[in-house]
């Protein structure tokens, strides 16, 4: 794995040089590992789509490290700034109207008049963005529709040496992608459940947030396709118990070959989700997969969103 490097100061500086020169760097965030490029470099952004085998109609998230970068890149409003101050840095992404017509930005945004932006809460990601001097566009560092990576090894297993550098910053703390909230209209709209809970957003705003699953054939944000985050084996969800010839992933007091959280802790379950799907895939042999029910509250909303898409046939 000659392209995997520990995330030291020296290697982060080296990775920033790769970004500046149009290369691809896999970087750790608190959610999952991202496949990063300079958002203003159209060729570099195109490489992301090519390496991931991702269709260009599926937009990408841009990452910033400082609040000052936000109004330079997108149009802001009072609600957006208040949300940014409350939930950034963290697993929270906003859809905002974009500025300018740079070719790389247009490709990253799939030609839409909006951009998806977040500020990751990971010191390696923040350092890389600052040293690169540009917003870094970074979808999950995996092949399109496959299980998202939460370790550097997962990135290498999926993308191999198609990435110029993989910065190893350890396992991801949150383990599911960021929440995506559209704040371009009069009412905020949840486009993807994620690491920031719907309950926390509504409590902060003091109003109900509309929930949309988008148009799978014309996504306005990442993670809206019907089949996504999928393991190699067929997956049955909301399984009260395993059936014959099923490898069972439990939760709480529903035991299985693996258990997302024996304590029934949704934070622990979210952190384990993608790693355990990968592990189950490797161990299941000729069995199919089944997963115990997960509560639809807090981070459970994000977990259920991922496993429904992973199980979609």
What angle do helix axes 266-283 and 300-311 make, rounded to 10 degrees?
A: 20
* In the predicted structure, residue 218 carries a pLDDT above the cut 80: no
pLDDT digits (tens, 9 = 90+) for 8-45: 999 999 999 999 999 999 999 999 999 999 999 999 99
Of 132, 118, 164, 128, the C-alpha closest to 40 is: 132
Q: Give the mean pLDDT of 112-135.
A: 97
Q: Kind of pairing, strands 114-118 and 61-63?
A: parallel
Of 238, 277, 221, 28, the C-alpha closest to 140 is: 28
Please give the structure tokens belonging to residue 195.
Answer: 């690491």
Mean pLDDT of the chain: 94
Q: In Å, what is the CA distance from 258 to each residue of 50, 72, 81, 97, 253?
A: 34, 46, 41, 43, 12
Which of 53-57, 202-206, 224-228, 289-293 has the least mean pLDDT?
Answer: 224-228
**Distance (Å, rounded) from C-alpha 248 to C-alpha 260?**
11
Please give the structure tokens belonging to residue 204.
Answer: 């902060």
pLDDT of residue 2: 81
pLDDT of residue 217: 64
What angle do helix axes 152-159 and 266-283 make, rounded to 10 degrees?
A: 40
**Distance (Å, rounded) from C-alpha 39 to C-alpha 130?**
14
pLDDT digits (tens, 9 = 90+) for 287-312: 999 999 999 999 999 999 999 999 98
Query: What's the half-sphere exposure (Cβ side, CA atoms, 13 Å) at 242?
Result: 21
Can you list the domains of the chain with their CATH numbers?
4-211 (3.90.870.10), 235-311 (3.40.50.11030)
Ordered DSSP codes for 113-170: SEEEEE----HHHHHHHHHHTS-EE--BSSSTTBPPP-SHHHHHHHHGGGSSEEEE--
What angle do helix axes 9-20 and 123-132 make, rounded to 10 degrees?
A: 50
pLDDT of residue 241: 95
pTM reported for the whole predicted model = 0.92
């Amino acid at each position: 794995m000659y392209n995997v490097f520990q995330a030291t100061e020296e290697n982060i500086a080296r990775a920033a040089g790769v970004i500046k020169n149009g290369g691809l760097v896999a970087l750790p965030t608190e959610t999952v590992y991202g496949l990063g490029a300079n958002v203003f470099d159209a060729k570099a952004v195109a490489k992301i789509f090519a390496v991931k085998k991702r269709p260009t109609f599926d937009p990408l998230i841009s990452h910033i490290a400082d609040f000052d970068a936000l109004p330079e890149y997108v149009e802001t409003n009072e609600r957006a700034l208040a949300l940014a101050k409350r939930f950034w840095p963290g697993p929270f992404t906003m859809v905002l109207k974009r500025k300018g017509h740079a070719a790389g930005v247009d490709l990253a945004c799939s030609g839409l008049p909006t951009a998806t932006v977040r500020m990751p809460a990971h010191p390696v990601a923040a350092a890389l963005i600052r040293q690169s001097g540009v917003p870094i566009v970074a979808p999950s560092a995996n092949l399109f529709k496959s299980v998202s990576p939460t370790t550097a090894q997962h990135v290498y297993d999926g993308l191999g040496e198609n990435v110029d550098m993989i910065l190893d910053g350890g396992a991801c703390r949150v383990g599911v992608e960021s929440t995506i909230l559209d704040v371009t209209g009069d009412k905020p709209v949840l486009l993807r459940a994620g690491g920031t809970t719907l309950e926390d957003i509504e409590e902060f705003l003091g109003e109900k947030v509309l929930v949309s699953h988008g148009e799978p054939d014309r996504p306005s944000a990442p993670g809206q396709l019907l089949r996504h985050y999928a393991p190699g084996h067929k997956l049955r969800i909301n399984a009260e118990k395993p059936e014959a010839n099923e490898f069972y992933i439990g939760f709480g007091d529903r035991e299985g070959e693996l258990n997302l959280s024996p304590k029934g802790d949704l934070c622990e379950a979210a952190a384990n989700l993608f790693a355990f799907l990968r592990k189950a895939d490797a161990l299941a042999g000729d069995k199919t997969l089944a997963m115990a029910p997960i509560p639809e509250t807090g981070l459970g909303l994000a977990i259920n969103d991922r496993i429904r898409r992973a199980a979609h046939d």
